[in-house]
Structure 1
Amino acid sequence: MSNEIELVSDGDGLSVIGAPADVERFMLSAGLDKVPSRDLDLQRLRSFSGTGGAALGVAADIAQNSGRWVKLTEESAKAVKDFGLMAVKDGPANVRHAMIGKPGDIQQWLKIEQTATTLLGGPFALAALGTMMQQRAMQEQMDAIVEYLKEIDEKLDDILRAQKDAVLADMIGVDLVIEEALTVRDQVGRVSEITWSKVQATGLTIARTQAYAIRQLDAIADKLEKKADLGDIAKATKEAEPRVREWLAVIARTFQLQDGISVLELDRVLDASPEDLDSHRLGLRTSRQNRLDLIGRSTARLLTQMDATVQRANAKVLLNPFDAPAAVKSSNQVATGVLDFRGRLGIESGHEAKDAKRWSQAFVEAGEKVRVSATEGAAAAARFSTSTVDRATEAFRAVDIDGDGIPDKPRAAAAAEEAGAALKGAAAGVAGAFGTLFARNQADSATDGATADES
């Protein structure tokens, strides 16, 4: 059948192989033309082992084929599902394959019955293709890290030079060696024994630097966890933000260099021991995932600590109206940077999108809590103030005494008048009583005098 193309997936990416025009037509019809892709450079396979690719079983007409690699996305994953890629008998692990064709009068690609023959040749060629796909995935990751370092506006060399620790200082030299080896590889098309001898000893320095940076992140999380006073927490979180950013940059760079070494190492194995290629590829893949898991756990701990800081700040916002918002803001900046870093390294544990959403919601809710708490605090203060003033001034408010609907006199004045009248009445009563008693006494005295005269 004409217009045949070959689809190969290793779980991370999808390769489309065939005549250049057919590859382009498939990419367009499958909606992959707008997805970033890389050329597989299949002709490189013929240069390995010095046998014209015979050791890999590369087909003689491979130069007539082209290949495009795309990272597995929603669109490319749909193509894998639609055409039912299957494992190849006696083929490399994790690599799935399908042959499809497009008859001229049908606007659909049809799956072709699987055969032992592929456009590339034998199973060793398929293993080599799986290796090249893994290299493309790592190169894609390396480019993403370069963009990440540019976006955070960090001059990593300046950070490394500013460090007195010899572990970090050694990274500058390692960086230069690996970049040189990658440049030579691109020019020559393979990794010679001489080139590999310059690179193979650099892995220890990179691993040591990466472990050092991860420990620094753990130390920052420990320090924040031990802070009790909210003012100290706000200060420590603010100070941690630039330090976290710098250590993340160091980790990102070390991870990029480790991927660079892996790219070179796979080329070296492909050239020297093609029979070990598939097992070596899987071993590097597992090792890479272990590094990602370690970095993921450390950064996840930082996210957890930032979440705890936000909760503590929200709980004390009324007592700390300045420190609480400051702690939330700094925590927000740290968490955003960590999530961005995790995304660039492809650390996706199934809840990454949920984490990002949870954090954005948390900080929106944090701001809302601060606003509501402040409003409630102000209202409470207003109620307290109003109540106190009301009680203090109630006696001086005008009241309607005679019931005609018109305020007459303040309560205090009315009460004073009432009290004055009562006192006046009481005084008058006392005076009247004394007057009556005096008058009676006077009358009694006069009566007694008259009686005495008569006698």
Structure 2
Amino acid sequence: MDSDIELVSDGDGLAVIGDPAAIERFLADEGLQSKALALPRVSTVVGGSAAGLQAGSQIAESSGRWVKLTAESAAQVKKYGLTPTGTPGVDHAMLGARGNIKGWIQIAKGPGSIAANPAILAGGAGVMAQLALQQTMSEVTDYLVKIDAKLDDVLRAQKNAVVAPMIGVGLQLEEAMTIREHVGRVNEVTWSKIQATSGTVADTQAYALLQLDALASKFEQKSKVGDLTKVTKEIAPKVREWLAVLARCFQLLDAIAVLELDRVLETAPEDADGYRTGIRAARMERREAISRSTGRLLGRLGEAVAIANAKVLTHPSASPAIVQISDRTADAVDEFHQLLGIEEAWEDPETRLWGMAATEVKVKAVAAGVGGVGAVKRFSSETGGRAREARGRIANRVAERSGTWRSRDDESDGID
């Protein structure tokens, strides 16, 4: 029936396939944002056999939209009970509209269902994977514009021979993606230009991760507030620069994956499922490698905050500066994590809030007499505003982002 639609999910996105009017109704009912799904592209990669030609004709007659799966959108479609197919990582459901009543119900899969044709599922899953990659690429572009990253300036400033070719590689891949959009495929000429670019991008990513590790190591054996102030100020802009480089590397490696999938779908469609799942696994490994380095950095920032909070009474001006700079740097890392879909499960370090410090200084003031009362007044006048702000945001913010890290509570207790 024209009102029937099919849902196909690969975990990253959801394809809604069927009659255009039915698709629009479903998306409107669920409040889902979507983009066009190139079904004609699927029809060209399902094979030249009789079954493949029939499948291609079937899919070409349908319309399709693609929805990025977020936590919210995934929860919305979960109620429709998508079930696994014979294609790894791909789930499917067929839905029918409830007449004039708003809502959709799952119906039995007929012989014309997409799920009944492995060729369509494999080709469709490959195209869906490309759309998910391109969505992330677009989001990285927006991110780099938002943070006003001067990527070329950062890359030109590097004397390392590994990083230097990144600008040229980026231009090559952008050209290849543009040609792909106009031609509809990656031909031999385009492929010959970019097939060796992944090594340069991967090497640059590794170099950027080493730079983040080097920045984190600057906190080693630093326990004085003056030293920590200097380090936090020094690394903050450099962290942002290397996060931008990593974002660009992620974007370019995704572009390479899109182009590779095109080649596989065209030259070896029987390998499409394996290649698609391999790309997904490789992206996960990249995320994990990045999160290890950013996690170490967040841990060191968390330690610096813990020390600053422990010494807030003796350094009422410098300590909050450390906390504030660390918080802004952690915000930058957090935004970067969200961009790449890096899950965060960090432990809370036991940092001392400004409000607790204020209470402590009052207690000590009573014991110390007049001099202590003066300290209370000075503390209140200089840092009262910071106390209120930090109680709700600053000191705990880094704590919420720091991963598994070395606790320095025992060390800081004995530091003057």
TM-score range, shorter chain: 0.7 to 0.9
One-letter amino acid of the counterpart of residue 340, structure 1: E
What is the percent sequence identity of the aligned residues? 49
1:314-333 pair list within 5 angstroms? 314-333=309-328
Contact 1:57 1:121 in 2 (8 A): no
Quote the Cα distance in structure 2 between the aligned partners of 1:374 and 1:254: 49
2:225–2:308 contact (8 Å) kept in structure 1: yes
Equivalent position amino acid for 1:22 in 2: A
Superposed displacement of residue 244, structure 1: 0.6
Partner of 1:270: 265
Shift of 1:65: 1.8
Q: Give per-residue Cα distances to partners, 1:379-410, cap 9 Å, x unaligned.
A: 666634789xxxxxxxxxxxxxxxxxxxxxxx
Name which of 63, 68, 81 aligns with 2:65: 68
The answer for the alignment partner of 1:85 in structure 2 is: 82
> Normalised by the size of structure 2, how large is the TM-score?
0.83
Aligned residues: 374
Which one of 355, 366, 373 corresponds to residue 368 of structure 1? 355
Are 2:5 and 2:19, in contact at CA under 8 Å, matched by a contact in 1?
Answer: yes
Q: What does residue range 392-411 of structure 1 map to in structure 2 within 5 Å?
A: none
- Of 32, 36, 41, which aligns to 1:39? 36
Amino acid at match of 2:19: A
- The code of the aligned residue for 1:76 comes to S
Aligned pairs for 1:157-176 within 5 A = 157-176=152-171
User: Of the two, which has the highest radius of gyration?
Assistant: 1
Please say if 1:243 is aligned against 2:243: no
- In the TM superposition, 1:346-361 aligns within 5 A as 346-349=341-344, 351=345
CA distance 1:206–1:120, change in 2 (3 Å):
same
Within 5 Å, give how 1:11-410 maps onto structure 2.
11-32=11-32, 35=33, 37-48=34-45, 51=48, 55=52, 58-88=55-85, 91-119=86-114, 122-349=117-344, 351=345, 366-369=353-356, 371-372=358-359, 383-384=370-371
Structure 2 CA distance for partners of 1:14 and 1:386, relative to 1, 3 Å: closer
Partner Cα separation in structure 2 for residue 227 and residue 109 of structure 1: 61
Matching residue of 1:408? none
Is contact 2:46–2:119 with CA below 8 Å preserved after alignment?
Answer: no
Within 2, Cα distance between the matches of 1:153 and 1:53? Answer: 53
CA distance in 1, matches of 2:355, 2:144: 33
The code of the aligned residue for 2:171 comes to L
Give 1:377 deviation, angstroms. 6.5
Partner of 1:417: none
Instruction: State how far apart, in whole Å, the 2-side matches of 1:297 and 1:262 are.
Output: 23
Alignment CA distance shift 1:380-1:95 (3 Å): same
C-alpha spacing 1:10/1:386, structure 2 compared with 1 (3 Å): closer
Contact kept in structure 2, 1:45 and 1:53, CA below 8 Å: no
Q: Deviations over 1:127-148 (max 9, x none)?
A: 1111111111111111111111
1:204, 1:172 → 2: CA distance? 14
Query: Against the structure 1 CA distance between its residues 333 and 386, is the aligned structure 2 distance closer, same or farther, given a 3 Å change threshold?
Result: closer
In structure 1, what is the Cα distance between the partners aligned to 2:29 and 2:353? Answer: 47
What displacement does 1:155 show? Answer: 1.2
Superposition deviation, residue 208 in structure 1: 0.4
Change (3 A) 1:173 1:153: same
What do residues 29-65 of structure 1 show as CA deviations (whole Å, max 9, x unaligned)?
Answer: 1222xx3x22111112233488499647634143332
